Amino acid sequence: MKPVSLETVARVVGGYLAGGDGTTLATGATVDSRSVRGGELFFALKGRIDGADFAPEAHLRGAVAAVAARPLPAPTVVVEDPIEALQELARWTLGRMDSPTVVGITGTVGKTTVKDATEAILRCASRRVSATAGNFNNEIGLPLTVLAADERTEVLVLEMGATHKGDIAHLCGIAPPEVGVLTAVSPVHLDSFGSLEDLAAAKGELALALPESGSLVSPLGAPEAAVGPGHTLARRITFGRGPEAELYATEISELESGLAFELHVRDGSEERMVEVKTPVFGTHLVEPLLAAIGGALALGLSPEECARGLARLRRTGLRGG
């Protein structure tokens, strides 16, 4: 993030500085005292353990100040709620950047694969891109991703997870998306949402948060509640394995080097076909790859650029989604 003084941080997050020099510059943020790098703010969150207990360690490691609910034996920006302060700083920081396009990704499965594939396509096309690290897709991980982004970022690719109604709407309020990608809506996490319809509506908060000039990429046949019913958008792109979708795959095969398939891009009465070869394995990944292609097309890339980017794809960790 662009350097910002502690005095300004305190003003932005509605707190006050206890100790330290208000002109000292902060250049990043973390919630883990073990990973502090010089110049960062240490947000002392309270969960199973109290992050405030680790503020002295964070200061010794180079944190310029803690952000905590009480004054600590180190420079501290004192706030009512450190998580809300983290989110507010991320919202403000995004506004200071040079208007990056935010791509929001949600769904019950496949978010991380879609994020990795989208990032690979954009980087291959020489776009300056910042993306969610690992699967940091909640009310803590998303603002940390925003704060870690290079200020010259052109596209910010963000996973958006949800465990309750309103979670995705809240994340969209921190980083308003212009392109939304819905990976899938399947009957998982129903213990949190109660029914598939309620789950679909929670995922649909992403579509409803898009501006009228925005684009939504979604699976063909997704529940109506998941795609923002009644919400006008400039573009809607569907994906699947059959020609009823705007994006679909045929001739799917697994080679020794990875997946291969024919990508079909249908636009009205016109259709283009591009061969895709990518060094990942598992035919279940075809739909997430199509979702990523849809997001890239919404950003103005060509099918050929998408194919070149997927040829360089490396997935985060060993997760299946």
pLDDT at 192: 74
Mean pLDDT across 138-167: 95
pLDDT of residue 320: 38
| Res 21 pLDDT > 90 | yes
Q: Which two tokens stand for residue 106?
A: 């949600």
* Phi, psi dihedrals of residue 282, rounded to the nearest 5°: 115, 115
- In this predicted structure, what is the pLDDT of residue 317? 46
> pLDDT tier at 321 (50, 70, 90 boundaries)?
very low
| 276 pLDDT higher than 80 | yes
DSSP state letters, 94-115: HHHSS-PEEEEEE-SS-HHHHH
Separation of CA 4 from chain center? 23
For residues 114 and 64, what is the distance between their CA atoms, to the nearest angstrom? 35
What's the chain's average pLDDT?
A: 94
As a whole number, mean pLDDT of residues 55-61 equals: 95
Q: Say yes or no to pLDDT of 228 above 70.
A: yes
pLDDT, tens digit, for every residue of 167-221? 999 999 999 999 999 999 987 766 778 788 999 999 999 999 999 999 999 999 9
Residues contacting residue 34 through CB under 8 Å, at least 6 positions apart: none
Q: How far is CA 73 from CA 19, 60, 62, 78, 296, in A?
A: 9, 11, 14, 12, 48
**Span 49-76, average pLDDT:** 95
**What was the pLDDT predicted at 316?**
64
pLDDT value of residue 11: 98
Is the pLDDT reported for residue 86 higher than 70? yes
In CATH, which superfamily holds the domain spanning 4-82? MurE/MurF, N-terminal domain (3.40.1390.10)
Residue 318 binned pLDDT confidence (cut-offs 50, 70, 90) = very low
Q: What is the distance, to the nearest Å, from the Cα of residue 291 to the centroid of all Cα atoms in its chain?
A: 14
Q: Could you report the per-residue pLDDT of 280-312, keeping only the tens digit for each?
A: 999 999 999 999 999 999 999 999 999 999 999
User: In terms of CATH, what superfamily is 97-310?
Assistant: Mur-like, catalytic domain (3.40.1190.10)
Give the pLDDT score at 133.
Answer: 87
Structure tokens belonging to residue 42 = 């240490």
Q: What are phi and psi of 170, to 5 degrees?
A: -65, -45
Q: CA-to-CA distance for 115 and 62, rounded, in angstroms?
A: 31
Note the pLDDT of residue 319: 43
Domain residue spans of the chain: 4-82, 97-310
